[in-house]
Amino acid sequence: MSLLRLLPLVVLLVLSTLPARAATVLLRDADMERALQQIAAPILSAAGLGSSGVKIMVIDNGSLNAFVTDPRHIFLHSGLIMRLGSARELQAVIAHEAAHIANGHITRRMSNVRNASTAAGLGMLLSVAAAAAGSTDAAAGIAIGSNSAAMRRLFSHTRAEEAAADAASVRYMLRAGADPVGAKEVLDLFRGQEALSLGRQDPYMRTHPLTRDRLRAVEGMIAGHTGIPEDATANYWFQRASGKLSAFKRAPDWTLRRLDASGSRDIALMREAVAWHRQSNLSKALRAIDGALAIRPGDAYFLDLKGQILLESRQFGAAVQVYQAAAARAPREPLILGGLGRAHLAAGNPKGALQALEQARARDFRDARILRDLAVAYAQTGQLAMASVVTAERYALMGRMKDAELHAKRALGALPRGSSAWQRADDVLIAAKRAK
Ligand SMILES: [Zn+2]
């Protein structure tokens, strides 16, 4: 989980390139994202979007919000996931966002905004979304109209859209066999916030205006559907996603006191490993994660955590071996390949790192850490122009378009015109110019 737990070898490089205030920080973690995707899959299918057609991504933000920017992503704030109590509540949130996608509520307004299939496009969308949710400093680096009222309109839904999304979301929940009472439980979370001033409301209230009518309508829709049993599989994935998230976000002592509330023994051990690791107790962390692996032998995502623990404890050779085992079991998982690349880099093997990180980036351009490590690997293998390309993409992803432009220009000057790397740099440059 990328909570800026910095790798010692690259710590200086990172500190010198981190922005004073990052616009929107995606919280990337292979295990958490896989769990969220498992929870979402039946809902997305029921919405006609395909079980893996929409990627569920987490934003490192303690406030409560969920939103869509384009048809390929649903964004959840980490604070919302930690606040929800069960899989059915999370499924209700996802169903509501899926309805906004399926009903075309976003795309209708989005003709001016670049799509989210490149680092620059996604970075711009996230910056605008952050501004729309009320964190105005997030828009400092960019200026799409630089009019926060316009941005708010872009990402806030009308009451009619909310009513349509609620109705569709309850249909999706029922079609997926999920208990739609989750939809009412989510709305109850925001009860009473209507009376608060804008600044004190959760951003969810701004993106999805809540009215008493909405709650009443949802209560009416779910009234005839009681007694749907809880989905044990979905709840396992919910406990795993929210348990890993809270283990990284809360104080380790808090986690260690609440291991019994983890839902299952393997999740409790995984959380215990995170807590001990954050207290720099390597032996206890390893004992815990090995315990989790004994319950789920060869679980690539537990191996991923073990690799991270070893890497951040400077056991570079062991980290490479564990990440290799994880990557062998989940060869299509970009964030695990990213971990393998990072471990290779730390172990002084930039060629091995380059191979893993290029594969990782080709599968997923949305991880700033992969882009950062890839730039280091390019630089260490003498490919400075390529280092500039991925650095430009990393800044663009973070919404720092001025820095992105600088590195894109450097890359364009050094690469063969029209090559695929040249085109990636050009894409960033075009986005930077448009942002002006
Ligand atoms: Zn909504």
- pLDDT, tens digit, for every residue of 131-174? 666 554 443 333 333 445 555 566 678 888 999 999 999 999 99
What is the C-alpha to C-alpha distance for residues 363 and 174, in angstroms, rounded to an integer? 33
CA contacts within 13 A on the Cβ side of 414? 14
Residue 327 CA, ligand 1 centroid: distance in Å: 37
Q: Indicate the residue type of 431.
A: A
Q: pLDDT band for position 116 (50/70/90)?
A: confident
> 186 C-alpha to center of ligand 1: Å?
12
pLDDT: which is higher, 76 or 155 = 76
Ligand 1 centroid–CA 162 distance in Å is: 5
DSSP type of residue 158: P
Give 75 Cα–ligand 1 centroid separation in angstroms: 12
380: Cα separation from own chain's centroid: 29
Q: What pLDDT score does 226 carry?
A: 86
- Taking only the tens place, the pLDDT of each residue in 20-50 is 344 578 999 999 999 999 999 999 999 999 9
* Mean pLDDT computed over 61-81: 92
**Rounded distance from Cα 65 to ligand 1 centre (Å):** 10
Q: Which residue has the higher pLDDT, 366 or 143?
A: 366
- CA atoms of 257 and 255, how far apart (whole Å): 5
- What is the arithmetic mean of pLDDT over 351-374? 97
The alpha carbon of 321 and the centre of ligand 1 are apart by a number of angstroms equal to: 45
**349 C-alpha to center of ligand 1: Å?**
48
CA of 208 to the centre of ligand 1 (A): 4
Ligand 1 center–CA 46 separation, angstroms: 18
Q: With contact defined as beta carbons under 8 Å apart, do 56 and 28 qualify?
A: no
pLDDT digits (tens, 9 = 90+) for 337-356: 999 999 999 999 999 999 99
How far apart are the CA of 95 and the centre of ligand 1, in A?
10
Ligand 1 center to 109 CA (angstroms) = 14
List the one residue out of 18, 113, 24 whose CA is nearest residue 69.
113
Looking at 11-72, which runs of residues are DSSP E strands?
55-59, 66-70
Among residues 281, 282, 278, 285, the alpha carbon closest in space to that of 247 is found at 278
**Cα 318 versus chain centre, distance:** 28
The percent of residues above 70 in pLDDT, for the chain, comes to: 87
How far, in Å, is the centroid of ligand 1 from the Cα of 111?
20
Is residue 110 very low, low, confident or very high in pLDDT (cuts 50, 70, 90)?
low
Compute, in angstroms, the gap from residue 98 CA to the centroid of ligand 1. Answer: 10
Q: Which of 89-93, 157-161, 314-318 has the lowest mean pLDDT?
A: 157-161
What whole-number distance in Å separates Cα of residue 125 and Cα of residue 282? 39
Tokens coding 26: 């995606």
CA atoms within 13 A on the CB side of 301: 19
Residue 82 has pLDDT above 60, yes or no: yes
What residue spans of 52-108 are helical by DSSP H? 78-83, 87-102
From CA 136, how far away is CA 138, in angstroms rounded?
5
Q: Which of 315, 372, 392 is closest to 13 using CA atoms?
A: 372
pLDDT at res. 12: 28
Ligand 1 center–CA 96 separation, angstroms: 6
Q: Are 14 and 398 a contacting pair, CB within 8 Å?
A: no
pLDDT over 90 (residue 420): yes
* Ligand 1 center–CA 7 separation, angstroms: 39
Hey, what are 433's tokens? 């110019």
Q: How remote is the CA of residue 205 from the centroid of ligand 1, in Å?
A: 9
Q: Compute, in degrees rounded to 10, the torsion defined by CA atoms 388, 389, 393, 396.
A: 60
**pLDDT, averaged across the chain:** 88
Q: 93 alpha carbon to ligand 1 midpoint, in Å?
A: 9
Cα–ligand 1 centroid distance for 206 (angstroms):
10
* Averaged pLDDT for residues 206-218: 85
DSSP lists the bridge partners of residue 75 as: 57, 67
pLDDT category of residue 114 using cuts at 50, 70 and 90 = low
Q: pTM of the predicted model, to two decimals?
A: 0.90
- Edge-first strand order for the sheet with 73-77 is 55-59, 73-77, 66-70
- C-alpha distances (whole Å) from 377 to each of 13, 163, 173 are 13, 50, 45
Tokens 């969308």 correspond to 125
Give the pLDDT score at 155. Answer: 64
Residue 234: pLDDT above 70?
Answer: yes
- CA 13 – CA 387 distance, rounded (Å): 13
Element (H, E) at 298: none
